[in-house]
Amino acid sequence: MKHIYKAGTKKDAPTLLLLHGTGGNEHDLLSIASMIDDRANVLSVRGNVLENGMPRFFKRLAMGVLDQEDLALRTKELHDYLNKAATEYGFDRSNVVAVGYSNGANIAANLVMTEANSLAGAILYHPMIPNPDAQIPDISKLPVFIGAGKNDQMVPYEESKGLKKMLEDHGAEVAMHVEPYGHQLTDSEVDASKQWYDKNFN
């Protein structure tokens, strides 16, 4: 997978796995990663699927309708790639925290919901429920941050709320930050995720 890897300066800090939104690329969330933890390793990945020339992490059939078959395939692909990258770059595979926005947040959520022990935590900005029928593994005590917009036209607030409940029902410890805005990622949302991260990983 096309990616950027930057080694961090703090040995026991997590590796931040950056997952962009539709039409983005591996450069999009680098500044966010610096705000969250400028001493962590960073692995920023570009989605392998193109939709009208725009990179994504998996296909969709229509707006808000995900291609479940492709989602499963691409989630497994990302999981396998993480294992490979950990060997290649020498980071701790058991200490990876995803930072995903929109489409990137959805594949990160699906990683948590389908691959056991795939992540040490996740920051999900504006996610939906990617896979309502997921056979969720043991995610008890897994720290997850969800950022949502009350007036999000792309991902209804109820979807993000539903994901929170689904993860909590399987034991995850989910913090949710809600903005009165739409689908855009705001400074205050990033600030809230940094405070959550510091509490859980610093």
The total number of residues written for the chain in this structure: 202
Distance (Å, whole) CA 148 – CA 183? 8
Q: Is 102 a catalytic residue?
A: yes
Q: Is 79 a catalytic residue?
A: no
- Tokens 């808000």 locate to 64
- Tokens 């691959």 locate to 115
User: 174 is written with which tokens?
Assistant: 């989910």
Q: Is 152 a catalytic residue?
A: yes
Structural contact between residues 152 and 183, judged by C-beta atoms closer than 8 angstroms? yes
Distance (Å, whole) CA 69 – CA 72? 5
- Active-site annotation holder among 37, 44, 102, 118: 102
- Active-site annotation holder among 20, 28, 44, 152: 152
∠ CA 117-132-49, nearest 5°, is 75
Kindly list the catalytic residues: 102, 152, 183
